Amino acid sequence: MDNDGQQRRIDLRARVDSALERRVADDLLRQRRTVSHCRQAHVSCDGQRLLDFAGNDYLGLAHHPAMVSAMQVAAQNCGVGAGASHMVCGHHQEHEALERAIAQWLGYPRALLFGAGYLANLAVMQALLQAGDVCLQDKLDHASLIDGARLSQARLVRYPHADVVAARRQAQAHAEGALLLATDGVFSMDGDVAPLAELAALADEQQGLLYVDEAHAIGVLGPDGRGSAAAAGLDPRRAPLLLVTLGKALGSCGAVLVGQDWIIEHVMQTARAYIYTTAMPPALAVAALTAVKLAREQSWRREKLAGLIARFRSGAQALGLQLLDSHTPIQPLPVGDNTRLLRIAQNLHERGFLVGAIRPPSVPPGGARLRITLSAAHEPHDIDALLDALAPLAAEIAAGKGDPDHSVAG
Ligand SMILES: Cc1ncc(COP(=O)(O)O)c(C=O)c1O
C-alpha cells in the first residue's frame, strides 16, 4: 500500500532479482552438475570421473543388467510412453503387476502407483484431509509431506524431531477434526529412524491414522528389506498406509502407495495428483518390478551395505569426525556454515569424490552438512579412499559443529 492507502502492483522481476542476490550472498545458490556417464558407484560429472557418495542408489541396483534388459524388452513390446493418465487409458498390465508385487511383498491388501513420491505425498494429504483436520508431522519430515499438508488446508502441526511426548501434547491440544500423523521412516537428511512403535501407539490412542514415508528405508531396513515399519514390527493394522519410493534403493523411478483397501480406493478416486497426470512409462514399471525381485532375493546387498556403514562410521570416529545417530546408508557430517561446507565439498570434488553439500532450506539454518550416502555398489576400498580424503579436512569440518536443534527444516 502507498500513502494514499492504495494497493500498489509489485514488480515481480525486481522481487526475483533481489531474492537471487540474497541467495548468492548467503552461499545458497543451487547448481546442477551434469552427469555424462555413470557406472555403479562412479559418475562422470562435468568431465571429471568421481566416486559417487551423493546418490540414493543404496542397493546398487540402478545399473543392474537385469533391470536394463527388462526395460529394453518391455519398451519393444509396449513402447516408451503410457499414452494417458491411469484413469483414461494409461493403466497398463505392467503397472498392475508392479502394484500387486509391492503389495504382496509388504503384506498389504492394495497398492497404487505414482510417477513420483512427491506426487504421492501431495495426493495422500489432499485426498484424506480437509479444512478443520489436523496433520501432525515431525519437524524434519520431507518437503513433499509438508507441501501436501499445506495443499490439503488442514492445520499443519509440527513436533520437535522424534519427540513423541511433544507430539502427544500437540495431538491433545488439537483434538478437533480428523488426525493424520505423518513421518519419514528414515529421515532423508539425518539418516536416523523415526520412533515408529511409539508413534503408532499415539495414532491409535488419538484415533488418528499413521502414514509412514518409507523413501529411504525400503529395500534397506527390516526383514526382507520391507522398510522401517516392518523393522519396528508394525503390521498393516498399526501402520495402515506406507509410501514406497522406487527412485532410491529400488534403482528406478516413481512411487507406490500401499495400504488398506478403503484408503487406496479413496486416494484413487479423489487425489488430483493421481488423476490429472500421465502414468509412468510401463517399461519403467517392468524395471522397477525387476528391482523388487532383486531387492527381495539378494539379501547379500543389505549385508554388504551394513558392513560398509560400520566401516565408514568406525573410520570417521577414528578421525574425530562428529557423526549423527544414523545406522542407515545416510551418514551426514555436520559442518554448520554454508561457505565452509561449499569449500569442503569442492575440495572433495577436486580429489575425485562427489558428496552432497546440503544447505538450508533442505536443513535448518546453521545445519549445513556433507550428506554422505553409502551403497552396496561401493567396495571397502572406496570407503577407505573417502576416509583418506576426509582426514586432512577433519579440523575444518569440525570447526563449527552443526546446529543440534534441527528445528525448522523444510
Ligand atoms: C522422504 C522422502 N519422501 C518423498 C520423496 C520424494 O520422492 P520422489 O523422488 O520419488 O519424488 C523423497 C525424495 O527425496 C524423500 O526423501
The model's pTM is: 0.95
Given 297, 312, 334, the domain boundary residue is 297
Looking at residue 1, its pLDDT comes to 57
For 394, other C-beta atoms within 10 Å of its C-beta total 17
255 lines ligand 1 (CB under 6 A): yes
225 and 102 share one domain: yes
Quote the domain boundaries for residue 146.
65-297
DSSP result, 305-362: HHHHHHHHHHHHHHTTPPPPS--SSEEEEEEE-HHHHHHHHHHHHHTTEEEEEE-TTS
19 domain-assigned? no
56 lines ligand 1 (CB under 6 A): no
Number of domains in the chain: 2
- pLDDT tens, the chain, 410 aa long: 566 777 899 999 999 999 999 999 999 999 898 888 888 899 998 889 999 999 999 999 999 999 999 999 999 999 999 999 999 999 999 999 999 999 999 999 999 999 999 999 999 999 999 999 999 999 999 999 999 999 999 999 999 999 999 999 999 999 999 999 999 999 999 999 999 999 999 999 999 999 999 999 999 999 999 999 999 999 999 999 999 999 999 999 999 999 999 999 999 999 999 999 999 999 999 999 999 999 999 999 999 999 999 999 999 999 999 999 999 999 999 999 999 999 999 999 999 999 999 999 999 999 999 999 999 999 999 999 999 999 999 999 988 654 444 433 43
217 lines ligand 1 (CB under 6 A): no
246 domain-assigned? yes
Determine whether 277 is exposed, middle or buried from the number of CB atoms within 10 Å of its CB (0-12, 13-18, 19+): middle
State the distance from the centre of ligand 1 to the C-alpha of 167, rounded, in angstroms. 23
Cα distances (angstroms) measured from residue 27 to each of 22, 45, 361: 9, 21, 12
Looking at residue 408, its pLDDT comes to 35
247 lines ligand 1 (CB under 6 A): yes
C-alpha cell at position 91: 493403466
Instruction: Show the CA angle centred on residue 184, arms to residues 217 and 387, nearest 5°.
Output: 55
Taking a C-beta distance cutoff of 8 angstroms, is the pair 353, 33 a contact? no
For 361-384, the pLDDT digits (tens) are 999 999 999 999 999 999 999 999
- Find the CATH number of the domain harbouring 354: 3.90.1150.10
Q: Using alpha carbons, select from 109, 145, 140, 142 the residue that is nearest to residue 126.
A: 145
Q: Using alpha carbons, select from 230, 196, 221, 190 the residue that is nearest to residue 211.
A: 196
Kindly report whether the peptide bond that precedes residue 365 is cis, defined as omega within 30 degrees of 0.
no
Looking at residue 404, its pLDDT comes to 46
8 domain-assigned? no
Taking a C-beta distance cutoff of 8 angstroms, is the pair 102, 258 a contact? yes
The dihedral through the CA atoms of 182, 185, 191, 193 has a sign that is positive
Given 233, 262, 297, the domain boundary residue is 297
By alpha-carbon position, which residue is closest to atom 16 of ligand 1? 188
